[in-house]
Every structure is written in C-alpha cells, then in structure tokens.
Amino acid sequence: MSTIQFVGYAPNPRAHTPLACFNVVPYYLDGQETCDEEEAPLPAIIPQFYRKLELRRSRNGKLDDATILKYNKTDHVPMETSTSSMITNPIVLTLFHIPALRNLFLSHICEDEHCLACQLDFVFRIISDKRKLKEAASCANLIRSLVVSGGSPVVGPVTTTTQSLFTHLMNAVNKSFVGDESQKLASILESELTVLKRCIRCSELNASDERKTFISLNYPEAAEQRSMSYLLEKALHAKGQHQGPCASCSVTSRMDVTRRVQKLAPILLIDTNASSPKFSEFWEKQLKMSEARPRYRLPDKECSLECGGRAERPCRYGVECRNR
C-alpha cells in the first residue's frame, strides 16, 4: 500500500476482472438523493422435473407411441390418451389389476359384436402382450362399443361420468355372462343381506334375502366429522321406510326397513355418490387427515438414570416439535 501525504492507497486485486466492481458502495454527499436502479425481476427458474410438458399431438388428438413411452418411468403398459379415453382408461386399468375379475373376463367368449365383456377381454390381452413389446395399448374398440350401447356418455364431468360409466359397464357385463360365468361374477361382487320389514300398523315382522353389487354412500350433515368406515357401515345397515303391502293386514301400510349383512363380497364396489353436496367436503377432510402429521406428545413416563435409561430431552420447539 502506498501513502501519499496522509491518504493510503491499496491496489485492487480484482481489477481487470468481472468482479472489479463487486461489493462497491457509492458515496453520496449530504442532501444528494440516491438513484438506485430498479432491476427487473428475473423469471422464476423451475426445475425440469416440475415443468409442464408440452406434448405434441396429431390432428386427431392422439399421442404417438414414442412420446408416450418417453415419459413412462414405470414397468406398466401405458394407455393411449385421447378426449374420449380419459375416463375409460382408469376403469380398464382398475379391472385389469384385479386378478379375479381379469381371469373371468379372459375366459369369456361370445358372438356378440359389441359385447363389452369381449371388448374388455380384448383390451386385457393387448395390455398383457404389450408389456413385453414396450408399446402403448389402446381401448378404442371398447369406447366404440360403449357408444353403440348408448347406456352412458364417455365424455363429461369426471366425478359423475366415471361412476355412471362404470355402473353401466358392470351391468352390461352381468347381462353378457350366463351360466357358470354369471355365478362366478356373483360370488365375487355380490353381498348377501337380510332385509327385515316391520309393519307399523300391526308390528308384523317379515324377513327376506337381498343381494347387492353396488354399495351407495350417504353423507350425513356432519359428514366431515365421520370416517369412511362409519359411512360404509351405515350404507350396509341402511334403515328407511316405504309403503308396501302387508301380508298380515292385507292392506298397504308403512314399513320400517332394516338391513343386516350376512356375507360380504370379496370385492366391494362402492358408489361414492358424487352428486351429493357433501361429497367434496367429506373427501377433502379425509385427504387432510391422511396427509396430516401427528403432533409430538410428551411421553407419559420419561426414563431416568435409576432405570438405566437416559431422560428424553425435547428440542427447543418443545411441544411444537414435529420431527418425532
């Protein structure tokens, strides 16, 4: 450092480098306003893993196999996506990954051109064959048969269209099966219930058997405070009243109806009743409960040196600690 009179001058080691003016603070005289230049904010840098994919589609809205396989990181066979297959693909994959139903569909054969059971059999065989070839599967034939049957639309709101389409598909499949196939399907999906009917007029009690394939959920007023098991229990043991003929009174009177489960099906098909106004509130609450982490609670009895252990010391957050 050189000194001239009483002022010392030190060389700048960053001179003639990109950091020559790094961390240099300008001086301002008294009364002089600072003129800071506002820099425009830079665009947010999003990691490539979280960026939105811009997939190139053909004119008919379909993706080619190369694009589908490029983003498939699993060993499962991908499905070709289009506007009409957004709802059909999840239903097909759900049925395919249930071995009992998959084997039943694979053993079905008939001569009906638009048999939905045969179309599911065809799609399942495509998925099984494409697994080795690393190619995408398509359910275009199944969609065409669904449109021809005209039971339910294949495009619409997801919550309501999915349930109606699945119900129509299973009802059509049940009609397609005959003989042993129908009995096997019933043993897999049907639950046996006992219906108790009591006449309010004469208190006569009658019992009858009932078989149910779909179990529809009903959401009470305080549905967000209930659990899924509670709603399922209430749906199975549903109570109600209706008008019906009484064998003892020989007149039409009001009946109290109570159901009791005799045998549950190995596979339960549950109608979540998406048209109910309490549907969104209940499932949003269930999602929050499943994702919430339990709060840390101090142990009832801490270890001491007398018992050979070491006393547990919570962190600086105390009862607010959530890392335990």
Span 204-232, pLDDT tens digits: 888 888 888 888 888 877 766 778 888 88
Section 75-83 average pLDDT = 79
Q: 117 and 242: one domain?
A: no
Report the Cα–Cα distance between both ends of the chain, in Å, rounded. 57
Torsion angle of C-alpha atoms 203, 207, 212, 214, degrees rounded to 10: 20
In a domain, 80, yes or no: yes
Q: How many CB atoms are located within 10 Å of the residue 314 CB?
A: 13
Section 53-61 average pLDDT = 67
Does pLDDT of 320 surpass 70?
Answer: no
Q: 101 and 174: one domain?
A: yes
Total number of domains constituting the chain: 2
Q: 85 and 169: one domain?
A: yes
User: CA 258 → CA 146, 198, 199, 211, 268, distances in Å?
Assistant: 37, 9, 12, 14, 20
Q: In this structure, are residues 153 and 145 in contact, taking their beta carbons and an 8 Å threshold?
A: no
Q: 170 and 202: one domain?
A: no
User: CA 24 → CA 12, 28, 32, 36, 119, distances in Å?
Assistant: 11, 13, 18, 14, 74
Q: 135 and 151: one domain?
A: yes
Find the range with the poorest average confidence among 10-24, 60-74, 77-91, 196-210. 60-74
Q: 64 and 164: one domain?
A: yes
Find the range with the poorest average confidence among 157-166, 218-227, 283-292. 218-227
Q: What is the pLDDT of residue 27?
A: 60
In a domain, 36, yes or no: no
In a domain, 162, yes or no: yes
Q: What is the pLDDT of residue 310?
A: 54
Find the range with the poorest average confidence among 1-15, 34-48, 276-290, 305-319. 305-319
Domain around 253: 191-219+228-277
Section 273-299 average pLDDT = 77
Q: What is the pLDDT of residue 180?
A: 87
Q: 124 and 212: one domain?
A: no
Q: In this structure, are residues 196 and 178 in contact, taking their beta carbons and an 8 Å threshold?
A: no
In a domain, 246, yes or no: yes
For the chain, give the mean pLDDT: 78
In a domain, 2, yes or no: no
Q: 76 and 122: one domain?
A: yes
Q: 243 and 184: one domain?
A: no
In a domain, 160, yes or no: yes
Q: 59 and 137: one domain?
A: yes
In a domain, 14, yes or no: no
Q: 120 and 177: one domain?
A: yes
Q: 127 and 185: one domain?
A: yes
Does pLDDT of 188 surpass 80?
Answer: yes
Instruction: Name the band, by pLDDT with cuts 50, 70 and 90, for residue 301.
Output: low
In a domain, 34, yes or no: no
Task: Name which residue leads in pLDDT, 176 or 69.
Answer: 176
Name the residue with tokens 């596979």: 267
Task: Name which residue leads in pLDDT, 25 or 136.
Answer: 136
